[in-house]
Structure 1
Amino acid sequence: MSSPKSNAALERLGHDLRSARLRRRVAVADLAARAGTSPSTIARLEKGDPGVAVGTLADVLVSLGLIENLADLVDIRKDDLGLALTSERLPQRGRSYAARLRKQERQGDKDGKNEPDDVDPNGVAF
């Protein structure tokens, strides 16, 4: 069962798909043939039926030349909440190169090995 918000969004999507199809002067049957589906599925999609598969939507968007819009649907670069949560989890300070070397040396002593890794003093690992 869909929520009222998702139903409204799907209806708007269906209306926009219908408008795009009509602007291109493409009949429902022709769009269905191009997308590899049935005319009744196109009609359901244009009515905002939540039971239509996302793959069918993608095929219809390809047929209409609008597939790039599907890829931008959830653009993580524009996800303000996700970006804010990520920035809260960032470390407050970074580790220095010297601290990493000391940690490697301590781990080498614990393992019984005292061989340093092949690390250049400039910070380039080999």
Structure 2
Amino acid sequence: MGSPKSKSALERLGQDIRGARLRRGIAVADLAVRAGTSPSTVARLEKGDPGVAIGTLADVLVVLGLVERLADLIDIRKDDLGLALIAERQPRRGRSFAATLRRKQARDETAQAETDIVDPDGAAF
């Protein structure tokens, strides 16, 4: 099914949704009507059921006035590991195409100068 970590995170999310609903004094049936779903789906969401669609979660959060929290769930500007990996993969300094071409030409000229000169008669110098 899912990992124990994801299961506990979904259960905690469900508990938080239930707590937010109770603080607002909204019944499960009322929340379900406002979110466009069934009371049993809201109950499953509050229990941390992984089978509840993310769209349903978003609709419930809209009703509770917490939908902006869903948008901030994965903020790539705060993804320390991802930012570190990107920084590691970036080149230390960039090179223009012209510099790369000049370097290649210099290597070719050096390689050509280092080759033996062969006399048409077959004698090498």
What interval of TM-score do these two structures reach, taking the shorter chain for normalisation?
0.7 to 0.9
Q: 2:67 maps to which residue?
A: 67
Equivalent AA in structure 2 for residue 18 of structure 1 = R
**What's the C-alpha RMSD, in Å, of the aligned pairs?**
1.6
Normalising by structure 2, report the TM-score.
0.76
Q: Is 1:55 the equivalent of 2:55?
A: yes
Q: 1:32 maps to which residue?
A: 32
Equivalent AA in structure 1 for residue 49 of structure 2 = D
Deviation at 1:94, TM superposition (A): 2.0
Aligned residues: 101
5+ residue gaps in structure 1? 107-126
Distance in structure 2 (CA, Å) of the matches to 1:94 and 1:3: 42
1:6-41 deviation digits (Å, cap 9, x = unpaired): 000000000000000000000000000000000000
Distance in structure 1 (CA, Å) of the matches to 2:61 and 2:31: 10
SS of match in other structure, 1:22: helix
5+ residue gaps in structure 2? 103-125
Structure with greater helix percent:
2
Normalising by structure 1, report the TM-score.
0.76
Q: 2:119 maps to which residue?
A: none
Runs of 4+ in 1 over 6 A off after TM superposition: none
Distance in structure 2 (CA, Å) of the matches to 1:60 and 1:86: 35
Identical-residue share of aligned pairs (%)? 76
Q: 1:84 maps to which residue?
A: 84
Equivalent AA in structure 1 for residue 30 of structure 2 = D
What are the equivalent positions in structure 2 for 1:1-126 lying under 5 Å apart?
1-95=1-95, 99-100=96-97, 102=98
Distance in structure 2 (CA, Å) of the matches to 1:90 and 1:3: 33
Q: 1:110 maps to which residue?
A: none
Distance in structure 2 (CA, Å) of the matches to 1:77 and 1:19: 29
